[in-house]
Structure 1
Amino acid sequence: MKNPEILLHYIDVLLKESNFTKAAHELYISQPYLTQLIKRLEHKLGTPIINRQSIPFTLTKAGIIYYKYLETTIANKQTLFQQLTPYVHPDQEIIRIGILDSLGTFLLPELLPGFLKTNSNIKIQLFETSPRISEAQLLHEQIDCYIGQTPESLNQGLDFYVNGGENYFVIIPPNSPLFKKGRFILKPNEYNIQDILNQPFVVSSSNSAIRHQVDGIFQKFHIEPNIILESNNIITTTNLAIKGTGLTISAASIIKRMAQTPINLLPLNPNLIQIKYFIAIKHGIKIKNGVKKLITKFQELKIQPNIK
C-alpha cells in the first residue's frame, strides 16, 4: 500500500486500539491483512515502527520519524494540488482564506455554504492558523483575505470590514469560592471586577487575539494575573474552566458548544472587552472579483451570538 493518508489512518487506529483485532474491525479489514501490512512495512524500512511489547502501543523512535514523513508527504501533496488548481481548472477563481480554527468552526458555516451555492466557479482554500501568522501571510500575499476578531490590533497595512460581534463572559465553575448555586447568567455588576481578576485563571496563549484583550484588562486594573494554565485553543481553555481548573474569559459562540454543566457566567462590560468580527485584505492591492463578493456576503451576515 502506497497511499500515505490510508497508512497514517491505519497507524492512528492501531495506536488507539493497541490491538490488531480491534483495529482491523474498526478499519473494516481483516486482522491478518493489517498484521502483514505492518510487518511488510517494517521489513521495507528495516526497523520496527510500533512498539507492541506494552499497552498502549507506541511509536518507536524510527516510527516517529516515519509518522512525520507521512504527515509531510500528505501536506506536500495537498500543497501541490492547491498550486496546480489554477492550471487544471483555469475557469475557477481560488480564494485563500486565513482564519483561526476555533473561529472558523463558528463563522465559516454561516458564511461559506450560501456563498459557494451562488458562486459555483469559486474554490475556497482554508489556512487555519494563528492571527499573527494569518496577518503575515496576508501581507506577503500568500492568502487573499483573513477573517478574524478585534480589528484594533491589526497591522496598518491591512484594510478591514467589520460586521457583528459578541460580548465576553467570565466562566465561574462550581469549585470556585465565587460560584453561586442555582444561578446561570449573573448580573454584570454582581461582582467587583478586581475580585474576579484576582482569582486563578486559565487563558489562551500569548499569540491569540483574545489574550491581548484579556492582558489589557489585567493591566487596566494593575493586577498581576494568577495563570494556572495556558492553551493555544480557546475551546480548550473554556472546557478547562468549566471543569474547574480556574476561571477564564470566553465568548457566547464558544460557550454554547460546551456540554451543559452547572457554571456561572458573569457578563463583562463591552467597554472593557468585546469581539468585533472582520474580514481583512491587504491595503493597496487589486481585489479579486470573488473576494469582493465574499466581503459583500460577510457584511450581509447577522453575526450576533448570545446566551440566554
Structure 2
Amino acid sequence: MSRNIKRFLEAIHQYQSISKAATALYVTQPYISQIIHKYEKQYGVPLLNRGKNKTDLTGAGLKLLHYLQSCAQREQQFAQEMASIAHYHTGTIKFGTNQPLGRYLLPDIFPDFHKAYPNIAVQLLELPTQRAAYLLNSNELDIFYGMQTNLNEIQFLPLKSNHYYWIIAKESDQHTRYKTEAIKSLTNFELLNNTPLINVTTHSKFQQNIDQFLLMNGLHSKVVATVPDIDIATNMVGHHIASTFTTYQAIQQNHLLLDPAVTIYQLPKTQLTLQAGISTRIKPTPPIQKLIALITQAIESKND
C-alpha cells in the first residue's frame, strides 16, 4: 500500500492531474482516488488540493511524499549494502527495455551475465520510455535500455544511433511502382503521403518521433491498425498488410531482408534518427556494470 501511495503522489505532483497520473501509471482514476482517500482518512488531513484546472499536493501531501521517498531510498541503500556483504551472490536485477528490444537483446547477453553471476536473476520488463523513467526515479527499475529519458536524475549512456526503416507490403501501390530488391534510401517523402500505415501505440516514443516527422514534412498517414510494438507491426507487413516504420533488427528477426513481397526503405538520419542508450539512476553496482558492458558490446556488434 505504501508503495502505491508513493507512486500516486509522485505522479499527481508531476502531472498536476489525477487523470493524467492514472494514464501514466496504467491504473484507473477511481483507484487512485480511493487509495488517497484512505490515507487522508487515516491521517485526518487532506493530501490533495483539488482545483478546477489542476490537482496538486497539499503541504501534508508533500510531507508524506518526501517521507515515503526517503524510506524508499534507505531501503534501496540497505539492499545494496546487503548485496555487497553477500558479494552479489544472490538477488534480482530489474532490466527494462522498450518493446520489443528486450526479446532481441536478452538472449544475446544473458548467457555471459549468468556465467558471471549465476545466482542473480534478471527480470525483464518491456515498457515505454516515460514509464521506465518513472520506475528508475522511484528505484523500482535498476537499468533501462531504450530511448532517452527526460529526467535529470537519470544517467544516460548513448550508444550508436540507428536508422528508421519504412517497409511496404507487396499489395500496396508504392511497392508495385517502386519495387527494389535491396534496401533503398528514401528520398521522395511524398511516397509516404496517405499510405496505409500500421502504427504502434501513441505512448511509444518511437511512434511520437514518427508522428513529428510526418507533421514536419506535411505528410498525412492513413492508419489502418495500431499495435503494441514494432515487432507485431513488422510481422503484419510481412504478411502482406499495408506498411509500417520499423528497425533493422525487427526486419532481420522477422526474416524480411530477402522477402520479395516486401520493399524496404531506409530513412536518412538527418530526418529521423533512432537514438537508444542505457539509463541508470544510481551508481552502478558490479552486476549492473557487467550488464552495461554486455549491452554495449552486443549493440556495437550489430549492423546498422
TM-score norm. by structure 1 comes to 0.62
Match of 2:209 among 207, 213, 233: 213
Judge conservation of contact 2:174–2:191 (CA < 8 Å) in 1. no
Q: 1:211-255 CA distances to partner (integer Å, 9 max, x unpaired)?
A: 011112112112232211111121111122233332211111101
Deviation at 1:280, TM superposition (A): 0.4
Pair 1:200-2:199 in alignment = no
How big is the shift at 1:302? 4.3
Q: Which deviations, in whole Å up to 9, do the C-alpha atoms of 1:103-135 show, x marking residues without a partner?
A: 111111222221221233533222233332222
Higher mean alpha-carbon deviation, 292-301 vs 260-269, is at: 292-301
User: Are 1:166 and 1:306, in contact at CA under 8 Å, matched by a contact in 2?
Assistant: no
Larger-gyration structure (1/2):
1
Q: Cα deviation per residue 1:253-306 (whole Å; 9 max; x = unaligned)?
A: 101122453111011101222223311011xx3432321232233333343544
Contact 1:188 1:268 in 2 (8 A): yes
Paired position in structure 2 for 1:15: none
Distance 2:166 2:158 in 1: 24
Structure 1 residues 276 and 128, CA, compared in 2 at 3 Å: closer, same or farther? same
> What CA deviation, in whole Å up to 9, does each residue of 1:124-148 have, x standing for no partner?
2222333322221111111111111
Instruction: Report the counterpart of residue 37 of structure 1 in structure 2.
Output: none
Q: Could you say which residue in structure 2 is the equivalent of 1:128?
A: 126
Answering whether residue 249 of structure 2 is matched by residue 250 of structure 1, we say no
CA contact (8 A) 1:95 1:125 kept: yes
Q: Is the Cα–Cα contact under 8 Å of residues 185 and 267 in structure 1 kept in the other structure?
A: no
Cα 1:230/1:304, change in 2 over 3 Å: farther
Amino acid at match of 2:204: S
Indicate whether 1:237 and 2:233 are aligned.
Answer: yes
Measure the CA separation in 2 of the matches of 1:172 and 1:196: 10
Over 3 Å counting, the alpha-carbon distance change for 1:306 and 1:287 in structure 2 is closer
CA contact (8 A) 2:102 2:124 kept: no
Q: How does 1:35-50 map to 2 (within 5 A)?
A: none
Q: Give the superposition deviation at 1:186.
A: 4.5
**Aligned amino acid, residue 208 of structure 1:** S
**1:79-114 per-position Cα deviation (integer Å, ceiling 9, x unaligned):** xxxx9xx89x95414321112341111111222221
The separation in 1 between residues aligned to 2:229 and 2:184, in whole angstroms, is 28
CA contact (8 A) 2:96 2:141 kept: yes
Contact kept? 1:164, 1:277, Cα under 8 Å: yes
Residue 113 in 1 paired to residue 111 in 2?
Answer: yes
Report matched runs for 1:12-91 at 5 Å.
Answer: 91=89
> Aligned to 1:277, what secondary structure does the other structure show?
strand
Determine if contact 1:163/1:298 at 8 Å carries over to the other structure.
no
Structure 1 unaligned regions, length at least 5: 1-82
* Aligned match of 1:73: none
Which digits, 9 at most, give the CA deviation of each residue in 1:16-55, with x for residues without a partner?
Answer: xxxxxxxxxxxxxxxxxxxxxxxxxxxxxxxxxxxxxxxx
SS in 1 for 2:164: strand
Aligned-residue identity in percent: 19
Local SS of the residue matching 2:292: helix
Conserved in 2, the CA contact under 8 Å of 1:93 and 1:290?
no
Helix, strand or coil for the counterpart of 2:271?
coil
User: 1:166–1:147: structure 2 CA closer, same or farther, 3 Å change rule?
Assistant: same
CA gap 1:231/1:182 in 2 versus in 1, 3 angstroms: closer
Q: Give the CA RMSD over aligned residues.
A: 2.7
Residue 194 of structure 1 contacts residue 221 of structure 1 at CA under 8 Å; is this kept in 2? no
CA distance in 1, matches of 2:172, 2:92: 49
- The answer (yes or no) to whether the contact 1:96–1:143 under 8 Å persists in 2 is yes
Q: 1:92 aligns with which of 75, 82, 90?
A: 90
Alignment TM-score, normalising by the size of structure 2: 0.63
Write the letter of the residue equivalent to 2:296: Q
CA distance in 2, matches of 1:185, 1:305: 19
Letter in 2 for 1:125: Q
Give the AA of the match of 1:185: A
Q: 1:203 and 1:266, CA in 2 relative to 1: closer, same or farther beyond 3 A?
A: same
Preserved contact between residue 200 and residue 226 of structure 1 (Cα < 8 Å) = yes
Deviation at 1:184, TM superposition (A): 2.6
Residue 182 of structure 1 deviates from its aligned partner by 6.2
Structure 2 distance, partners of 1:215, 1:258, is 24
* Cα distance between partner residues in 2 of 1:268 and 1:160: 25
Structure 2 Cα separation of the partners of residues 273 and 234 of structure 1:
16
